[in-house]
Homo-oligomer: A and B are copies of this chain.
C-alpha cells in the first residue's frame, strides 16, 4: 500500500515489522545524540553539564517555578536537583526567593547571567531543530510532534502540556 493511501485512511491497520520499529528506535537514539551535542559542547567549556542545562531551561520556561515543581518535570530526586541548583545559585545564575503566600516554597528565577547562558544554549539547540524542520517541511514536523507526544508517558504529556499556552 502506498504512503498516501495509508495517510488518507488513518483508521487503516498499520503493519510494522520488527525491523521497521528497530530502525525507529535507532533513529531516536542517534537523533538524541545530535539533539544534545551542541549544548553539551558549550557546557563542557564551563564547569556545567546537561543537568544544569535542564534546570536553566525549565526555570526560564516557567519563571518562579518551585523546587518541587521542577522535580516533577525533570524526574530526578531532590538531592540530585539540589546539587545542581546550589551551584547555579552560588554562581549567580539562578535566584531563589521565599514564597509570599507559602513561605516553605522557594521560587526560582534566572538572573541576567542565567538568562544569558540559557539563550546561548537554546540558540544552539534551536538552530539545529530549525535546520531539521526546514529540511523536511511542515507536514513532517506535524508528524514528528505527534509521534513524540504519543511516545511520552501520560503524566509527562500533561506536564509538557501545562507548559504550553493553548492546552485543554
Q: A residues bordering B, Cβ < 8 Å? A: 3, 6-7, 10, 12, 14, 16, 18-19, 21-35, 37, 54, 57, 61, 75, 122, 125-126, 128-153, 156-157, 159-160, 163-165
Contact = CB atoms under 8 A, between A and B. Distances in A.
B139 A34 contact: no
B159 A6 contact: no
State the number of copies, please: 2
B164 A150 contact: no
A122 B128 CA distance: 29
A131 to B, nearest CB: 7
14 contacts: A6-B137, A7-B139, A22-B61, A25-B57, A26-B61, A27-B152, A30-B148, A33-B152, A33-B156, A34-B153, A132-B151, A140-B147, A143-B144, A144-B146
Given A21-B130, A140-B143, A147-B136, A153 B33 contact: yes
Contact of A144 (B61, B130, B144, B152): B144
B126 A147 contact: no
A24 B131 CA distance: 13
Contacts of A159: 30
A143 B14 CA distance: 15
A145 B14 contact: no
